[in-house]
Structure 1
Amino acid sequence: MENPRELFQVMTRRFGLLNKNCCSVGGCDISLIQSHILYEIDNQHEPSMQQIADTLGTDITTFSRQVQSLVKLNLVKKTPHSDDKRVYILSLTVEGKYVATTIDQQMNEYLNDVFSNMNEFEKETVIRSIKLLNEAMAKTSHCCTIPLR
């Protein structure tokens, strides 16, 4: 049987998940976590900081630092909620929308290139398997942590 950990190690490297920056758009170097934040802000309706942090499974302190760096890059805007000033709503600036869209296009081009090396059955099998894996990962109690023994 194949070694599953080895398969994930190789896939992680090939996806560039260990790189300091996942992409560079318009002179901005964007880290992987920043890319995820931009994606989620773009895909959720007027999300709060806590909603995005929860979606990404990150603690609010680390998340706040990342959002601040995106605000400084003029990619994200924080607006106090009209009903509760302690809650901040996140939105993309025009530049942020451009960066998020460009990253999305780059990732789709990359995945299309990867899938172009497979026939339709293989592609559907991989996508179905990833869905199955995501569902199984959501059911485990070890989500996002590695138990240290």
Structure 2
Amino acid sequence: MELTRRDAVVVLALTGAGAGVSGRLVEQLDDDPFAESVAALAGTVYPSAVELDGEFVRTYLAGRLEAERSEYGYVMDAFDTLDEHAMRLYSREFTDIGVGRREDVLRDLGVDAASAERHGSVPERIRYLVDELLFVLYTSPTGGRLVGNENPAGHPGGLESYQQEP
């Protein structure tokens, strides 16, 4: 199951955050270390059935940054600590280690037990982004199919979809 730029645009439109994101903004995130770290994080927390298209993460981030760049600065700063922690454990940045080791880094930082808080501690800020990434996955029509929700709230599905049993 491949998530594409279109999936990100659909979710951004649904949430009203950067729905009109331009291709120029997305291109600015090409080879951006933060975008690469977020893609690595998504690859770690998403189910293995999901194939990430690089455009998906960059489009989503461009929309969020366009809507509230100053607020996202807190989240972006947390990724410096994430890389530092990965360097301490494995002598490589977070994006350069395998999924299993990324999970270890997140667990060692306490991200799995942290509450999501955009202005909180480093684990809380990373958890905030993990929760956002999962929200984007499961509210997109493509990702919603993973959990049997092929027509998430807010997406048109026609009369037939409302007459079918769950």
Larger helix share, 1 or 2: 2
Normalising by structure 2, we get a TM-score of 0.25
Larger radius of gyration: 1
Normalising by structure 1, we get a TM-score of 0.27
Larger strand share, 1 or 2: 1
Q: Whose relative contact order is higher, 1 or 2, with alpha carbons under 8 Å and at least 6 apart?
A: 2
